[in-house]
Every structure is written in structure tokens, then in C-alpha cells.
């Protein structure tokens, strides 16, 4: 399995499809990632060993099913693997079809084929300058097809971000409160507030739990964090998230080096209303962004997925399609994902926002 290609496949599912569901892989998704997204996004430079994208996708699908992260609405594992088999033979041809390449990949490959070290910013800038002066040979028909697709064709990431939701009728408040009381998260938040108590618990100078208390809380609350070899409570992500949630819900706060339960938390029943729920989600997104990743929760655990770039590599381009008119990220297995960037003027910003989950 190639980790880089697995990341690129999840990038496709999260960034370039309307629902963004990393665990749902229908045959159309399999076909599009192998025959459109990877040929457009992933640059395999001359001399590089060709990676096994179909094999990587098969391994990813097996993992999603084994970890119970596969969307139950999707096809069976056997059907998904059969979908990979049907298009696997077409993938190598698609990867070399220049008309399927993205703009950044086109110029990166053109430069590399002419001996330019594309990770060398100065060398790539000289290549871009020569291309602007018309001194570089390139496949004009392929570039025209790429620009036509970008300007008039369907972008992989077009459409609404999420599927339309059917109207629902919420249960009465008493029933919602009862369900909230039965929630594991609410129980853990209550347990955290009770543990802190009015006497409070000491924290570090940065406001974090000390490891001795953190180990105790992991056991008391049943967060599931692994504590073996951990030297700081900052490395206990689930416990840390609960503490941040408890602060946001005004159940606890840090005062003068101690974590205290607020008096109102002792008097009230914990029920997470819509406004509190939104605040907790905000905390979750902020913590995920601080890690440089996103987390997809599922019944079998967590899939951590680093999301880089935007549609077509997060490119910004001008109408000419020349390398000096494209400020882009090309995904190359040989090195850093960001190619050298040239000066850009009057460019159309094509980067799409990265959203959490779906």
C-alpha cells in the first residue's frame, strides 16, 4: 500500500465530491478517483517507480470495512473490489493521458521531461520565463484540452457540499433531555465536573492537567486514551477534547492554577442544547486544525486524514495556462507537494474551502 496515494484518494473523496464521505465508495467514486482525480492530481516524474494505485485503493477499502468505518449505505466489500478490478487496467493509460492532467501537473511534467529539477525554485522560474517567451516546446493540444476542461467543463468538486436533508420532527424536550442524559459524552462531562469538584485539581502553568491526574481521569471517565509512554496530558487527545468541551459548556474552569467545577454545573442537569452543541463542534474543528488534520469518527475508531490543497491541487491560474500564470500545488511522490511558485497577476482563485466531514 502506498500511503501517499491513499492520502490522495481520501483527498478526492473529501474535497472533490458533494457529500465528502470518506467511508462511502460507490463504483462511480472508484472510477473517478482512478481515471480522473489521480491522473489530474498525482505527478509521477520521469524515472520514478510507478505506484500501484488500484492495489492501494483495494487495501484502503479492506481497511474501512475491517475497522467498521465503511458507510453502511455503500456497496459490499466484494462489490467495491470488483469495481476496482473493472477499471484497474485503464488506470496506467489514464495516468499518461496528458489531456487528463491538471494544469500544474502538465507544466511540472513538461519541465521535468526537459531536464528541469522542479523542486528547485530558481530553475523552475527560469523555465517559466522561457515558456512565457515562447522558447519552450510543449503539447499545445493537450494544454488546450486541459484549459477547456477547466474553463468550461465540469469540475470534480462542483455542486453542493452536502446532500439535501429530509425534514425531521424532533421529539419533545423531555425525550431529548432523557436521550442526552443517556449519552456517553454527557456522562463523561458530568464525571469530569464531579471529579474536579469545588476543591479543584492542580494544573500545569499552561493550564493542562498534570499527568498523574490525567491518568486517573482516563481510567475514571473511560476515554480510551493510551497512556503508556505518554509524558504530557497534551498527548491524550480524547481526554483533552473532553476538558475543552467541559470548559466551553461552562462546567469547569481554570482559576489560579487549579481546575474547578463551576457552581452552576453542580446545580443543573447537563443537557447540551443546540447552541452548546455548536460551540462543542467549534472546539473540535479548532483542535483538529491545530493538529493539521481532520478526524472522521466511526463505530470502529478514528481515521485521521490530512487534507492538503484544494480542487485540482488548489491551483490559481490565469487564462493563458502558462507556468508563470499558475501558482499551484502538484502532488509528487518524489518530494514536497508544493512546487516552486512563480509570480502571479490577475489570477482566478480556484481553491475550494476545506470543510469538516459531511
pLDDT in tens, 193-210: 999 888 888 999 888 899
DSSP string covering 85-147, please? HHHHTTHHHHHH-GGGS-HHHHHHHHHHHTT--TT-HHHHHHHHHHHHTT-S---HHHHHHHH
User: Average model confidence (pLDDT) for the chain?
Assistant: 75
Residue 160 maps to a domain = no
Considering only residues 71 and 345, tell me which one the structure prediction assigns the higher pLDDT: 71
Average pLDDT (16-40) is 92
Residue 43 maps to a domain = yes
Lowest mean pLDDT among 5-14, 140-149, 267-276, 311-320: 311-320
Residue 238 maps to a domain = yes
Residue 354 maps to a domain = no
* Same domain, yes or no: 238 and 328: no
DSSP, collapsed to helix, strand or coil, labels residue 311 as: helix
* Same domain, yes or no: 125 and 247: no
* Same domain, yes or no: 146 and 178: no
* Same domain, yes or no: 120 and 242: no
* Same domain, yes or no: 33 and 93: yes
pLDDT of residue 18: 83
Considering only residues 287 and 82, tell me which one the structure prediction assigns the higher pLDDT: 82
* Same domain, yes or no: 89 and 139: yes
* Same domain, yes or no: 297 and 339: no
Average pLDDT (40-56) is 87
> Considering the entire predicted model, what is its pTM?
0.49
pLDDT of residue 337: 38
* Same domain, yes or no: 7 and 141: yes
Are 84 and 24 contacting, i.e. CB atoms less than 8 angstroms apart? no
Residue 81 maps to a domain = yes
All residues at 6 or more sequence positions from 287 whose CB lies less than 8 Å from its CB, including other chains: 237, 240, 241, 244
Are 45 and 118 contacting, i.e. CB atoms less than 8 angstroms apart? yes
Are 19 and 296 contacting, i.e. CB atoms less than 8 angstroms apart? no
Average pLDDT (51-65) is 95
Considering only residues 102 and 151, tell me which one the structure prediction assigns the higher pLDDT: 102
Residue 77 maps to a domain = yes
pLDDT of residue 160: 58
Say yes or no to pLDDT of 34 above 90. yes
β-bridge mates for residue 253, sequence order: 260
* Same domain, yes or no: 7 and 109: yes
* Same domain, yes or no: 322 and 253: no
pLDDT of residue 219: 92
Lowest mean pLDDT among 63-77, 142-156, 221-235: 142-156
Cα–Cα distance for residue pair 38/57, rounded to 1 Å? 11
Average pLDDT (76-92) is 95
Cβ atoms within 10 Å, residue 303: 19
pLDDT of residue 320: 46
Cα–Cα distance for residue pair 87/54, rounded to 1 Å? 8
Cα–Cα distance for residue pair 80/29, rounded to 1 Å? 10
Q: How many residues does the chain have?
A: 358
Cα–Cα distance for residue pair 327/346, rounded to 1 Å? 12
Domain of 137, in residue numbers: 3-153+307-349
Considering only residues 336 and 171, tell me which one the structure prediction assigns the higher pLDDT: 171
pLDDT of residue 351: 24
Cell of 65: 470495512
Cα–Cα distance for residue pair 199/201, rounded to 1 Å? 7
pLDDT of residue 294: 33
Residue 292 maps to a domain = yes
* Same domain, yes or no: 339 and 231: no
pLDDT band at 184 (very low <50, low <70, confident <90, very high): confident
Share of the chain above pLDDT 90, in %: 28
pLDDT of residue 266: 47
Residue-wise pLDDT for 268-323, tens only, equals 544 444 445 555 555 554 554 444 333 333 332 333 332 223 333 333 333 445 55
Lowest mean pLDDT among 179-188, 256-265, 269-278: 269-278
Number of domains in the chain: 2
Say yes or no to pLDDT of 29 above 90. yes
* Same domain, yes or no: 330 and 222: no
pLDDT of residue 30: 96
Amino acid at each position: 500500500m502506498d500511503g501517499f496515494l491513499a492520502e490522495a484518494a481520501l483527498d478526492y473523496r473529501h474535497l472533490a465530491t458533494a457529500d465528502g464521505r470518506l467511508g462511502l465508495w460507490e463504483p462511480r467514486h472508484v472510477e473517478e478517483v482512478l481515471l480522473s482525480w489521480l491522473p489530474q492530481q498525482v505527478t509521477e516524474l520521469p524515472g520514478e517507480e510507478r505506484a500501484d494505485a488500484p492495489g492501494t485503493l483495494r487495501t484502503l477499502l479492506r481497511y474501512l470495512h475491517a475497522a467498521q468505518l465503511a458507510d453502511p449505505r455503500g456497496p459490499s466489500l466484494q462489490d467495491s473490489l470488483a469495481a476496482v478490478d473493472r477499471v484497474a487496467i485503464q488506470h496506467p493509460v489514464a495516468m499518461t493521458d496528458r489531456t487528463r492532467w491538471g494544469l500544474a501537473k502538465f507544466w511540472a511534467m513538461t519541465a521535468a521531461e526537459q531536464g528541469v529539477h522542479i523542486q528547485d525554485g530558481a530553475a523552475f522560474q527560469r523555465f517559466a520565463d522561457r515558456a512565457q517567451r515562447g522558447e519552450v516546446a510543449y503539447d499545445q493540444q493537450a494544454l488546450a484540452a486541459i484549459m477547456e476542461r477547466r474553463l468550461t467543463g465540469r469540475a470534480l468538486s462542483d455542486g453542493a457540499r452536502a446532500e439535501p436533508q429530509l425534514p425531521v420532527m424532533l421529539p419533545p424536550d423531555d425525550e431529548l433531555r432523557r436521550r442526552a442524559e443517556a449519552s456517553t459524552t454527557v456522562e463523561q462531562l458530568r464525571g469530569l465536573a464531579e471529579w474536579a469538584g469545588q476543591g479543584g485539581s492542580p494544573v500545569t502553568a499552561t493550564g493542562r492537567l498534570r499527568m498523574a491526574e490525567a491518568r486517573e481521569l482516563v481510567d475514571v471517565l473511560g476515554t480510551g486514551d493510551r497512556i503508556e509512554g505518554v509524558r504530557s496530558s497534551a498527548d491524550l487527545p480524547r481526554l483533552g477534547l473532553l476538558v475543552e468541551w467541559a470548559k466551553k459548556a461552562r462546567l469547569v474552569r481554570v482559576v489560579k492554577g487549579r481546575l474547578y467545577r463551576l457552581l452552576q454545573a453542580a446545580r443543573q442537569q447537563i443537557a447540551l442544547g443546540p447552541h452548546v452543541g455548536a460551540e462543542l463542534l467549534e472546539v473540535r474543528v479548532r483542535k483538529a486544525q491545530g493538529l493539521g488534520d481532520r478526524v472522521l469518527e466511526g463505530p470502529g475508531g478514528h481515521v485521521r486524514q490530512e487534507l492538503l490543497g484544494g480542487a485540482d491541487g488548489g491551483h490559481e491560474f490565469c487564462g493563458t495556462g502558462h507556468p508563470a500564470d499558475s501558482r499551484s500545488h502538484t502532488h509528487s511522490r518524489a518530494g514536497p507537494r508544493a512546487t516552486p511558485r512563480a509570480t502571479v497577476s490577475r489570477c482566478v482563485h480556484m481553491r475550494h474551502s476545506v470543510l469538516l466531514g459531511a
